[in-house]
Structure 1
């Protein structure tokens, strides 16, 4: 007789508990986003012969890159039971500051990149201060930053795009004709996000705060300070996303990334994070961003109207939340 010796592992004594239907059900519930991504790739491959071409798959990766980087940052806020609606505007503002520093001010590009990233970090810190010390709900604080950052981007750029120097354009290009740099940046930021969530004190604090903020405070976590760290990280990731987007467009546009905050939140939710807080991981967020990119790319290949694309994406988001509810009940 086989005996289960794994600690904490409970034998399923129900008839057929380990049978194929139950294994499939458990797989779908625990890895719903990955299952959905694989199913979507198979479906798009069947419906369009161009989908699996190397060039198209690279395009999917590039299309997912900016959303994924934004979403990695938003994951921190959602895991901690908050939200950030300002990431699209902060991305645009940071990109505009990069253009302004490296052209109008004549600074070296590497210094402009550093200052642009610090701009995003500063915006995130303002959000953190408003939420932690101003006691504003995250929705309201980040909604205010959404408007303020976009306005500052328009003021600095005078409402016109700023052409970036050639020395930074490589970030939006491809290495060796097959490896897009935006995809490399996406992977790097995903690794950084995963390490923060899994291996750092702040990452563990995010889960604790999102699970029960009062209990986290009583256990010795400095909740206010950690919220400052969380939203500063969100702003930093938004700045990196803005730089990647600007290099793809070859210019810093003050109206860029409009609506991207909704895609970022959708990617996090589709990837399995709970809006109630305490649940979420970087790998799930990456899968969520890829699902959105595959969906948009496939619908474009099938010549589906952009209006209907919005309807389909809305349905996918609703389905993801429904699956999250079923998973938590299970």
Structure 2
């Protein structure tokens, strides 16, 4: 009889556990309105996390998505005030985010710079650019720009619609396209991917651009939700995006991950935030708990991979021994 691999369903089990806890803490948790509110609250982080998922599957990382979102979203607000065009403002945010992705990708792929260092530096650069331009001031009176974060299509908020559309596109890319297979191949074994003819640098470059574009889109949604361009609002978004990705089952060492898993991970983060707020946990303590959760998730991921490697090695040895016996 085949053993049930509980580690494969860890994120789902965690989500179910949190849902049960929330149901006991608050009777209104299961109402349609509350579930829609939770979905709206996690929309920005999830959009960023889908881009992060593709990068981490390929063995890469982007720590600049939070500040990139803040910079791109704030500039989108500024452009909307100047032009009155929602389309131009939206494109401005997305394109600026994509430009940041291009710079990250060039530094990593063409100059072999470590992704951690490059994107950490870009975090500072994007933060500095928007604070320098706005002189640290928030951008108010954004008018109809709020539609991206506060509007709705029937009963479903537009941020949730955007999140689901990006989720479906991410799923198709990872599951159904050659590019998605290349991401898994590179994250699983980059040397083997190179040997098989995959253009690794181009694949990585595209992943950084996608992450940047989604950070720009997420920034537009974020500022629209906040009803203002807030240069400091991106701080910590990259942490939540990483948490959602890793808790959703994406291996931090690359080669493993799914878009649906990331969506589940985002709901885990959103509901965890709800629980901590319901029980009155201080915001500073919440940072500590989130950081601890990331460490636990990464350790769990590494230990799981090591166990699988040991089982595979032992299994290969047994097969070899059986062949010798037959001979």
Matched, 1:259 2:236: yes
Q: 1:322 to 1:47 in 2, by over 3 A?
A: farther
Q: Which of 37, 42, 49 is 2:20 aligned to?
A: 42
Distance 1:125 1:295 in 2: 34
Distance 2:31 2:285 in 1: 25
Distance 2:148 2:39 in 1: 14
Matched, 1:319 2:296: yes
Q: Which of 70, 76, 81 is 2:54 aligned to?
A: 76
Distance 2:58 2:161 in 1: 27
Structure 1 partner of 2:261: 284
Q: 1:164 to 1:215 in 2, by over 3 A?
A: farther
Distance 1:107 1:179 in 2: 26
Matched, 1:309 2:276: no
Q: 1:164 to 1:203 in 2, by over 3 A?
A: farther
Per-residue CA deviation, residues 262-304 of structure 1 (Å, 9 max, x unaligned), is 1111111111111111111111111111101101112212223
Q: TM-score if structure 1 supplies the norm length?
A: 0.87
Structure 1 partner of 2:314: none
Contact 2:68 2:234 in 1 (8 A): no
Kindly indicate which of the two structures has a greater share of residues assigned to helix. 2
Deviation at residue 315 of structure 1 after TM alignment: 3.8
Q: 1:203 to 1:176 in 2, by over 3 A?
A: closer
Aligned pairs (5 A) from 1:1-330 = 17-18=1-2, 22-23=3-4, 26=5, 28-104=6-82, 106=83, 108-163=85-140, 165-175=142-152, 178-328=155-305, 329-330=307-308
Contact 1:88 1:238 in 2 (8 A): yes
After TM superposition, what 4+ stretches of structure 1 lie above 4 angstroms from structure 2? none
Q: 1:159 to 1:309 in 2, by over 3 A?
A: closer
Distance 1:60 1:269 in 2: 20
Deviation at residue 107 of structure 1 after TM alignment: 5.6
Contact 2:18 2:271 in 1 (8 A): yes
Contact 1:32 1:323 in 2 (8 A): no
Structure 1, unmatched stretches of 5+, are: 1-16
How many residues get paired? 307
Structure 2, unmatched stretches of 5+, are: 309-327
Secondary structure of the equivalent of 1:294?
helix
Secondary structure of the equivalent of 2:254?
coil
Q: 1:34 to 1:70 in 2, by over 3 A?
A: same
Distance 1:168 1:231 in 2: 27
Distance 1:137 1:317 in 2: 21
Contact 1:34 1:287 in 2 (8 A): yes
Deviation at residue 174 of structure 1 after TM alignment: 4.5
Distance 1:323 1:174 in 2: 39
